[in-house]
Amino acid sequence: MTLELNDMQGLLIRGFGNLPSAQYVLLRFSDFTGGKQYLRELLPAITPATDKPDEQAVQVALTYAGFSFLQLPAEGLASFSREFREGMTESHRQFILGDNGENAPDNWAWGNPAHDEIHLLLIIYAKDESTLAEKLAVEKNRAESYGVLELHTLPTGLLQDHKEHFGFRDDISRPIIEELVDNVEKKPGVTFPAGEFIMGYKNLYDEYAPAPSIPSSKDVLNVLPVSADLPDRKDFGKNGTYLVYRQMEQDVFGFWEYLKGASKDNSEAVSLASKMVGRWPDGSPLTLTPEKPDPSLSTANGFGFWNEDKAGLKCPIGAHIRRTNPRDHLVTERTQKDSLEMAAKHRMLRKGRPYGTPVSERLVPEEILGLPRDDEKRGLHFLCLVTDIRRQFEFVQNNWVNFHKFGGLDQDADPIIGNHYKSDIVVSDEFSIPAYPVKRKLKNLPNFTTIKGGGYFFFPGLRALHYLANHE
Ligand code: HEM
């Protein structure tokens, strides 16, 4: 099935890497009519997937509270997934996501509905800072003139060589959407049917991804397509998807100080950090080059763990990339094929960007290790697009990132993003490094990342936005 790119927002198929400046603006409607008028005006400014902009781009997503405020019909509201309706900070979700202790929503700067109910996320990308400032002024004016209140503006900044703040190359492993590539050779775990990430298309179960819909009678202007599997309903989800947003502050100095304390020299600290990530700082995967980085492999992604590294001697079972995508080796599955198929059902399209000033421009770990601590706030605006928040993002966060017994481990969580703590029943602040003849265990890991805000958004197709802006 061909993708309706003209009805999709561009972020679904690209990352706007050529537009390095960006800001995320969180907004709230203040009146129903003004909110709809605002959306009507905003619509032509939104960048569809058919455009390849080289100046600026605007994307928009709404929360459940936003759709309610604009009075999407009750049947439509009820058809969103439970996790979207309940929101990221609902108490059961906090438990699933591991948002307790210092990560609890009470400590967030935004996203806790007790403090500020967010309705809308506007993402603005631009080719440079001055174009961004101009575009932001236009969008802020537009919002203000319709009584749409600006709650938070969150800056971003791409780092050198695609790095994240700890100093590792990011954004290497990406699912390939089969419908976007001509004559693609389908490969489990590598290529994916669009329905995993975009609603209105078949997913890995050969089903249409569950999507919000409304009774056909409520689409008086006949804007929406008929739902593919519910003939008496209109598909509000088509060409849209869910957007998960987590603002994660990174304690870069804490991370490298901990590693320095666990190592005899800088070179060992860098190897231990790489064991935690599963790739060397330049991106080369430990599974393919376990002893030292190999720049020729810095974007290599065609590897598995089953044949190469079942015991985790090269890339530890609990490394960040192995937990978030165990590929062909899930200890719970009996065959390589089962593992691959199972792991594939929990992938995400990651679209986040770093924020804050980096500790150094080049972010070379050996340099970072010699720098004095500063008070700058920095981290990652983690964003991912998924058609099923529970099966994709929450599953990974709950069963793989934070589960202390993942893969036969006992007292470990994801070393770089996991919630590390000790309670009467759970210890999750260790990191096991399989090695022969003696394995190594790092203990008392502090949290290297802390959640500072977050929310579940829906990233609608353009017809859905048109419907929302015009329905009675
Ligand atoms: C500050 C927070 C984070 C940092 C610094 C970080 C860093 C990294 C790095 C350096 C990589 C390797 C590059 C690549 O394979 O593309 C990576 C991969 C990945 N991360 Fe994260 N990450 C963070 C948060 C998260 C979160 C919250 C999730 C999801 C729950 C996540 C899921 C993934 C996935 C799925 C991969 C690709 C694994 C693979 O396919 O091999 N990350 N991350």
Q: Is 449 in the pocket of ligand 1 (CB under 6 A)?
A: yes
pLDDT bucket at 49, cuts 50 / 70 / 90? very high
pLDDT bucket at 290, cuts 50 / 70 / 90? very high
The residues that bridge with 149 in the sheet, in sequence order, are 28
Which of helix, strand or coil describes residue 340? helix
Give the integer Cα–Cα distance in Å for 11 and 19: 12
* End-to-end Cα, the chain, rounded Å: 32
Phi, psi of 432 (to 5 degrees): -95, 130
Cα distances (Å, whole numbers) of residue 279 to 293, 321, 457: 8, 8, 31
The residues that bridge with 121 in the sheet, in sequence order, are 26, 61
Determine the pLDDT at residue 98.
94
Contacts of 25 (CB under 8 A, 6+ apart): 121, 122, 123, 124, 136, 139, 140, 143, 150, 152, 153, 154
Give residue-wise pLDDT tens across range 436-469. Answer: 888 999 999 999 999 999 999 999 999 999 999 9
C-alpha 257, offset from chain centre: 27
Determine the pLDDT at residue 41.
98
Q: Is 381 in the pocket of ligand 1 (CB under 6 A)?
A: no
Give residue-wise pLDDT tens across range 244-268. Answer: 999 999 999 999 999 999 999 999 9
For the chain, give the mean pLDDT: 97
Give residue-wise pLDDT tens across range 128-178. Answer: 999 999 999 999 999 999 999 999 999 999 999 999 999 999 999 999 999
Residue whose tokens read 């009678």: 217
Determine the pLDDT at residue 472.
77
CA of 232 to the centre of ligand 1 (A): 41
- Give the range with max mean pLDDT: 106-115, 332-341, 375-384: 375-384
Determine the pLDDT at residue 332.
84
Which alpha helices (H) appear in 47-105, and where do they start and end? 64-69, 74-78, 82-86, 91-97
Residue whose tokens read 């005899």: 264
Phi, psi of 166 (to 5 degrees): -70, -15
Is the per-residue pLDDT at 113 higher than 90? no
Determine the residue of 159, 168, 282, 321 to mutate for testing ligand 1's pocket, defined as the one with the most ligand atoms within 8 A of the Cβ atom.
Answer: 321
DSSP 8-state class, residue 331: T
Q: How many percent of the chain have pLDDT more than 90?
A: 96
Give residue-wise pLDDT tens across range 346-380. Answer: 999 999 999 999 999 999 999 999 999 999 999 99
Q: Is 190 in the pocket of ligand 1 (CB under 6 A)?
A: no
Give the integer Cα–Cα distance in Å for 6 and 175: 21
* Tokens of residue 196, six digits: 């995993």
Give the integer Cα–Cα distance in Å for 137 and 61: 19
The one-letter amino acid at 307: N
CA of 178 to the centre of ligand 1 (A): 22
Dihedral of CA atoms 411, 417, 423, 429 in degrees, nearest 10, equals: 40
Q: Is 417 in the pocket of ligand 1 (CB under 6 A)?
A: yes
pLDDT bucket at 334, cuts 50 / 70 / 90? confident
What are the residue ranges spanned by the domains of the chain? 5-245+454-470
Give the burial class of 341: count Cβ atoms within 10 A of its Cβ; 0-12 exposed, 13-18 middle, 19 or more buried: middle
Give residue-wise pLDDT tens across range 51-103. Answer: 999 999 999 999 999 999 999 999 999 999 999 999 999 999 999 999 999 99
Give the integer Cα–Cα distance in Å for 315 and 381: 26
Which alpha helices (H) appear in 87-163, and where do they start and end? 91-97, 129-145
Determine the pLDDT at residue 333.
85
Give the pLDDT mean for 280-292. Answer: 98
DSSP 8-state class, residue 396: I
DSSP 8-state class, residue 162: G
Greatest alpha-carbon pair distance for the chain in Å reads 71
Phi, psi of 423 (to 5 degrees): -130, -175
Determine the residue of 324, 390, 402 to mutate for testing ligand 1's pocket, defined as the one with the most ligand atoms within 8 A of the Cβ atom.
Answer: 324
Q: Read off the pTM.
A: 0.98
Is the per-residue pLDDT at 1 higher than 80? no
pLDDT bucket at 121, cuts 50 / 70 / 90? very high
Q: Where are the beta strands (DSSP E) in 251-373?
A: 349-350, 353-355
CA of 324 to the centre of ligand 1 (A): 7
Q: Is 287 in the pocket of ligand 1 (CB under 6 A)?
A: no
Q: Is 168 in the pocket of ligand 1 (CB under 6 A)?
A: yes
Q: Which atom of ligand 1 is nearest to the CA of 397?
A: 30
